[in-house]
Structure 1
Amino acid sequence: MAALLPDVAHAISCFSEQGQPSLRDALLDLRGRGFASILVVPLVLPMEPSFMNWMTKSLKRWQAEHPSGWPPIRVAHDIAKSPHFEPLLAATVAGAAIAPVVVPDGVKPEASLIPAQKRRVLVCEGGACNAAGADAIWGHLRNVQERRKLRVNGSGTMTAKSTCLGPCALAPVMQVFPEGTYYGGVTEPAIDRIVEEHLLGDRVVDDFAYQPTGRKQRLRSKSQPDSTGD
């Protein structure tokens, strides 16, 4: 790709949600490599205002977690508003249309296995949690789940998105069963510790856990250890 962009020294594709490399991992890899700047080009259609809000907050958080080695970072505007979008779209779809596969009537779906996993992790996708970056947390959790083979390691873990889990002031929130433990203010480093210590080690991570006290609670200090040691 960089060969087609003469002013670009290095280009990489990554994912803002589930998929590898994640946007966070790609940026952490690029920092400190001597580039004059980093340009993020979101390929998001349609471009939602909430995505740009999430991007701004996430960049600030990642830079705070890893405070050295960052060149200036810019984010491109909505790609759909570019004058080059229509010819780009036309070139992409030309000759690419295929007929959908239609399952004949009366054909039964394949049989399914009942999951053996004993743990369930719910990631809140309510309004407050989405505004706080729940999609990025979900993507990081799913990437770690695949990388660490959580479905078969430990007690076995299944993950799922959820509608509002309740304590919106603690966003983003996730809940781990069978204990029912609530975790608030969850970030990627928090996910890494929860996976290692709770899902695989059967120990609640008190730094991020909130217990039902019968009283309203606010989010504690966001000072969180960096799992990478950076």
Structure 2
Amino acid sequence: MNSFNVRDRFSLPRRRFLWLGASTCLATLTANCARNQQAANPESAIDFTTASWEEIVAAARGTTVNWAMWGGSDQTNRYADQWVGARLSSEYDVTLNRVPLNDTVEAVNKVIGEVQAGLTTGGNVDLIWINGENFRTMKQGNLLFGPFNDALPALQYYDRDNPAVTTDFGLPIEGYSAPYTGSYYVMVMDRARVTQAPQTFEELMTWAGKIPPLCLCGSTCV
């Protein structure tokens, strides 16, 4: 599962991150921007543990979030810049600044380095698209913001009993992340050779067991 991680840039005991999902992307980005506005204008500070979602959205207007993410996919970049960015701007008055990375660990290491240097406010990273071992590093290092996902309206559309939603690479999320994308397998068949496609995993395994193995050269092994 891919998730988002938002950098907390305010007066907190430690640097922390917030994860969000694709369907919750607009809303959760807005929550982080609200913290930016709070830092700039302490008089507008709100308590995020008790504030309503409407109050969080209102506090986020007019702010900017820096999103550090792997930049190797033009399709994903366009999605972030054009779809997410446009809706953040038009619906929430939030500006999205995508910061491309060669590898997600670049942003993770930057944050860890800033924390070790004692920088707890005004860091360079607001939001990270992150998963797997990087989430484990952040969670075990007590560098995550949360738990927060109960506050996200879009989480009602997820199966909260699904391990793919509640864990990341086997590590319990415990409210510190929300899903962004999932992985699916797509199979293509040649109807000239396969007249009836398997409909279940068991049928697929039975069908595959009847097919002669292929050599690396592409011919059938004997």
Question: If the length of structure 1 is used for normalisation, what is the TM-score?
Answer: 0.28
| Higher relative contact order (CA closer than 8 Å, sequence separation 6+) | 2
Larger Rg: 2
